[in-house]
Amino acid sequence: MSLIKYQEFKSKLKSLKKSFLSPVYLFYGAEDYLKNETVSFIESIIIEPSTKDLNYSIFYFGDKNNSEISIETVLQSANSYPFVSDKKLVVVKNINKLPESQDNLLETYIDNPSTTSCLILIGTEKLPKRVLFKKIENMYPTVNFYHLFEHEIRHWIVEEIKLLKKNISYSAAEMLFNITGRNLADIRREIDKLILYTDVKSEITLEDVESCCGYFKENTIFELLPVLARKELHQAIKILINLFSNGENEFAILSTISDRYKKYLKFYEVRDKGIAESEAITQAGINFYQKDFLKDVKLIKKENILDSLEKILNTELGIKSGKNSKIQIEKLLFELCKPASQTGNLS
């Protein structure tokens, strides 16, 4: 058995039954929310709420409050019989912190695991390069829960809302993503709010998202864009500082700015072919707040957009070469907010 992609594994989970559960799973990767969500789903298949205390055990390696934990304790739990149930669930977190001296004990177990237990081993972003973990990967379902790409997050939003017996358009899902950012736990909280807000309605609209979730953050990256179009340097720096204070990723900020200026350029390229502005906006990839986009793009001359994109690229290259990312983005904002006649090269 080889490494499974999250999306492939998720599709299999939908039809998973207790009798087809693997006796061992290995989960790792950067996206903790998806790991926890998957464990909860498997728990719902195995565990009756009334017997959870007796049939569900969770252990943590590297826990300062429980430094005595050993793999022997974990395996003793896995080898014990469930109470008034077909199976029990044993979850081990931070398996990457398992002392290498105990690898042989876990290897022995995975060669002949209990048929009445489901053992889920959960690591952090990366697993140690040890024979044990490679052996588990070859024998049992192993899933890398990576941070989802932007298009995958939008699809995830649509699918999560379907599970709650409602529908959301792709453009409304995109708006929700743009408001909340990439944190899946934040998005899930906003989805729960939307479900309550829309009550008996079966369809979640753009207007619902804007009304219910429009003030999720004090500042979002997208509030920076019209300020840059108006070349309001003081306000742009103020928003940038707020974004940094809220832990916004520098590359996410740069990527969003770059994407917007590319859409400005696309708008002009389409419009200059004689196509109506409303259609040019849509072809540029703007599905909502189209009037705001039109107002912003008209503040920027087409001949200056390529120059701005070059400055954005130079900023990215500077960051990748080791220069201070926050300082580089601040310099970029100074350049983008300069009158056209004063722009120069970033250094």
The residues near 68 (Cβ < 8 Å, ≥ 6 apart) are none
1 band by pLDDT with thresholds 50, 70 and 90: low
Q: How far is it, in rounded angstroms, from Cα 274 to Cα 100?
A: 68
**What Cα–Cα distance (Å) separates residue 37 from each residue in 20, 27, 31, 151?**
19, 12, 10, 20
103 band by pLDDT with thresholds 50, 70 and 90: very high
- Least Cα distance to 39 among 148, 140, 119 occurs for 119
Is residue 19 scored above 80 in pLDDT?
Answer: no
347 band by pLDDT with thresholds 50, 70 and 90: very low
pLDDT in tens, 169-186: 988 999 899 888 888 988
Mean pLDDT of the chain: 88
Q: How far is it, in rounded angstroms, from Cα 1 to Cα 176?
A: 37
pLDDT in tens, 20-65: 889 999 999 999 999 999 999 999 999 998 899 999 999 999 766 5
Q: What is the 3-state secondary structure (H, E, C) of the chain?
A: CCEEEHHHHHHHHCCCCHHHCCCEEEEECCCHHHHHHHHHHHHHHHCCHHHHHHHEEEEECCCHHHCCCCHHHHHHHHHCCCCCCCCEEEEEECHHHCCHHHHHHHHHHHHCCCCCEEEEEECCCCCCCCHHHHHHHHHCCEEECCCCCHHHHHHHHHHHHHHCCCEECHHHHHHHHHHHCCCHHHHHHHHHHHHHHHCCCCEECHHHHHHHHCCCCCCCHHHHHHHHHCCCHHHHHHHHHHHHHCCCCHHHHHHHHHHHHHHHHHHHHHHCCCCCHHHHHHHCCCCCCHHHHHHHHCCCCHHHHHHHHHHHHHHHHHHHCCCCHHHHHHHHHHHHCCCHHHCCCCC
Q: How far is it, in rounded angstroms, from Cα 217 to Cα 219?
A: 5
What number is the average pLDDT over the span 76-105?
Answer: 94
- What length is written for the chain? 347
Domains 3-144 and 150-213 belong to one CATH topology: no
In the block, tokens 């003030």 appear at 215
Four-CA torsion 73, 40, 22, 143, nearest 10 degrees:
-100
285: left (phi over 0), alpha (psi -120 to 50) or beta: left
pLDDT in tens, 297-324: 999 999 899 999 999 999 999 999 989 9
Q: What is the C-alpha R_g of the chain? A: 25
CATH of 150-213, one of 3.40.50.300, 3.10.20.30, 1.20.140.10, 1.10.8.60: 1.10.8.60
Is residue 86 scored above 60 in pLDDT?
Answer: yes
pLDDT in tens, 225-283: 999 999 999 889 888 888 887 788 898 899 999 999 999 999 999 999 999 998 999 99
Q: What is the pLDDT of residue 219?
A: 57
Q: What is the pLDDT of residue 132?
A: 95
Please, what's the b/e burial string for 194-209 (b: 16 or more CB within 10 A of its CB; e: otherwise)?
Answer: bbeebeeeeebbbebb
Q: How far is it, in rounded angstroms, from Cα 178 to Cα 231?
A: 22
**Architecture of the domain whose range is 3-144:** 3-Layer(aba) Sandwich (3.40)
- Between 53 and 13, name the one with better pLDDT: 53
Structure-token pair, residue 165? 């017996």
Is residue 18 scored above 80 in pLDDT?
Answer: no
Q: What is the pLDDT of residue 143?
A: 94
pLDDT in tens, 120-168: 999 998 999 999 999 999 999 999 999 898 889 999 999 999 989 999 9
**Domain spans of the chain, in order of start:** 3-144, 150-213, 221-342
CATH of 221-342, one of 3.40.190.180, 1.20.272.10, 1.10.3720.10, 3.40.50.720: 1.20.272.10
Is residue 66 scored above 90 in pLDDT?
Answer: no
